[in-house]
Chains A and B, each alone.
Chain A
Amino acid sequence: MVTDQIHLEFDSDDETDGGDDNGEAEKPEEALVLAFRDDGYPLLPAIDSNTPLEMLKRVLRVYVREVRSKCSSSGRCASLTILISEFQKLSGRIPWAAIRANNDAHIVKKCQRTKYTLDDPSRMTHQAVLRFLNHWYSRQGDEKVWPLKFLKPERNAVAAVEPESARGRRDSTVSGGEPQEPQEEHIDDKGSDIEAHEDGKIEVDGGDNDNVSQQIPVEQVTGMGDKGGQEKVAEIGEVPTIPAQVDPIQRTRFLKSLSNYGGYQKLIGLLDTADVSDHDWLIMACY
């Protein structure tokens, strides 16, 4: 069921997914073909320290792109957050700068690496890429959540629920398959004060949580257009002290800032798995 092979095909239409690619996107490259679990989870191939750095980087790049392009048709998305609206666009450049600035927002805590930051692969060291890929590879066999977070519909959203497409085993050629949008990344390292946590720290994803089954385009949820979304993400440097001044996009950060008490921080992890549908409206009215 699980295919651990990298298929190499020649494909001149390579992706140009952003950041500082050192021009590597300009030249034709071999396409990587990833296998998928029945639930749509992209499967990383087995790699080791002998795998060439360029191949590791390409695997990482393809994997991130594949998660983004496939997750809308799967209910396996673990913890989805409005902070990563750029990543949720399904097409266009992978917002590596935003990912670099806030690994917490993009990667499930258990899938982070304390000493390394996920970044544009072209900026990462051999060891860093290897650590991420090996760790994610080790977790993919148990139907655990994807390492990458994706799309958390905003509360108050009355949104249409996308029907899940039929699931099943399938293969996909990833390289260069998506249209490129002429997007600029507005996000830099400002506001990257969110620290990556140790593996398993205050993590409540539970490994196999299926809570998030509704996929809602972030623009529809937030009312923000593309540019608005980018600007909002870029504004995450300061968190107000007054609740009424907290932008909805910053609420989780605001809550985290209120107290360092471990029990409280652990409770905040509930947001990662809480159902975002409005089934609570009646009880909320009573509270």
Chain B
Amino acid sequence: MEAVGRPGPDWGHWGYNMATLPAAFHKRTGAGSLGNVLSWVKGNPLRSFEGKAAGYRRVEKALLVIGLTLREMDRVLFTDEDDARKLPDYINKSLLTLVDLDKAMEGCNDLLQEVGLNKSLPEPEDGSNTIAEPSASRYVRF
């Protein structure tokens, strides 16, 4: 019997009914925390199972968890003051930093490697809105 990996965060499903992630995400550890997400990603949620590649639903769920994580961290790190007032206090007081965002991106890149998409990330060209930052530091807005 193959191992199936670690459980994902409890908010990582399509029935999640909040625009922001729960306060638990902003804690260092615990269910639903960023640490939980990183561990889950490290366990490769897209791993093959019984010789078969991850199916559509599993890929979709992994993307949902990673995407919501990146969006939440973007809010924590880059929301301007006016918009920040509309966010819950726990986001404005979140202790997550650029280092954490870097870790999330690294997890993303590791996953790419695991699934064999680790070749060079696309470079932005004219007309393309896809960016391939090597580090969260590139996200810093002035």
Residues on A close to B: CB < 8 A?
114, 152, 155-156, 195-198, 200-202, 204, 211, 241-246, 251, 255, 258-271, 274-280, 282-284, 286-287
Give the Cβ gap from B133 to chain A, nearest Cβ, in Å. Answer: 7
Which of A211, A243, A260 contacts B13, CB < 8 Å?
A243
Are the C-beta atoms of B52 and A275 separated by less than 8 Å? yes
10 contacts between A and B (CB under 8 A): A243-B68, A251-B60, A261-B132, A267-B62, A269-B117, A271-B59, A274-B53, A274-B58, A280-B52, A287-B8
A278 to B52, CA, bound (A): 11
A259 to B78, CA, bound (A): 13
Are the C-beta atoms of B71 and A287 separated by less than 8 Å? no
Contacts A114-B127, A242-B19 given; indicate if A267 touches B64 (C-beta within 8 A).
no
Are the C-beta atoms of A260 and B130 separated by less than 8 Å? yes
Give the Cβ gap from A183 to chain B, nearest Cβ, in Å. Answer: 28
| B26-34, B89-97, B108-116 - the one binding chain A | B108-116
Q: Is B35 an interface residue (CB 8 A)?
A: no
Contacts of B5 in A (CB 8 A): 283, 286-287
Contacts of A261 in B (CB 8 A): 70, 105, 108, 131-133
A271 to B59, CA, bound (A): 7
Contacts of A277 in B (CB 8 A): 55
Closest residue of chain A to B127 (Cβ to Cβ) is A114
Closest residue of chain B to A263 (Cβ to Cβ) is B108
Are the C-beta atoms of B127 and A198 separated by less than 8 Å? yes
Contacts A198-B125, A244-B15, A287-B45 given; indicate if A259 touches B70 (C-beta within 8 A).
yes
Give the Cβ gap from A161 to chain B, nearest Cβ, in Å. Answer: 15
Q: Chain B: interface residue count, which band?
A: 35 or more
CB-contacts of B112-142 with A (<8 A): 112, 115, 117, 121-122, 124-125, 127-133
Give the Cβ gap from B124 to chain A, nearest Cβ, in Å. Answer: 8
Are the C-beta atoms of A244 and B55 separated by less than 8 Å? no
Give the Cβ gap from A192 to chain B, nearest Cβ, in Å. Answer: 15
Are the C-beta atoms of A262 and B63 separated by less than 8 Å? no
Listed residue (A152, A246, A261, A282) with the most chain B CB atoms within 10 angstroms of its CB:
A261
Contacts of A278 in B (CB 8 A): 55, 57
User: Which 5 A-B residue pairs are closest in the complex by CB-CB distance?
Assistant: A262-B132, A258-B67, A280-B55, A259-B70, A274-B56
Contacts of B45 in A (CB 8 A): 287
Listed residue (B13, B59, B111, B131) with the most chain A CB atoms within 10 angstroms of its CB:
B59
Contacts of A152 in B (CB 8 A): 56
Closest residue of chain A to B106 (Cβ to Cβ) is A263
Are the C-beta atoms of A270 and B46 separated by less than 8 Å? yes
Beta-carbon contacts of B1-26 to A below 8 Å, as 1s and 0s? 00011011000011111110000000
Closest residue of chain A to B15 (Cβ to Cβ) is A244
Which of A156, A246, A265 contacts B57, CB < 8 Å?
A156
Contacts of A280 in B (CB 8 A): 49, 52, 54-58
A200 to B50, CA, bound (A): 31
Are the C-beta atoms of B16 and A242 separated by less than 8 Å? yes
Are the C-beta atoms of A286 and B7 separated by less than 8 Å? yes
Are the C-beta atoms of B57 and A279 separated by less than 8 Å? no
Contacts of A266 in B (CB 8 A): 112, 117, 121-122
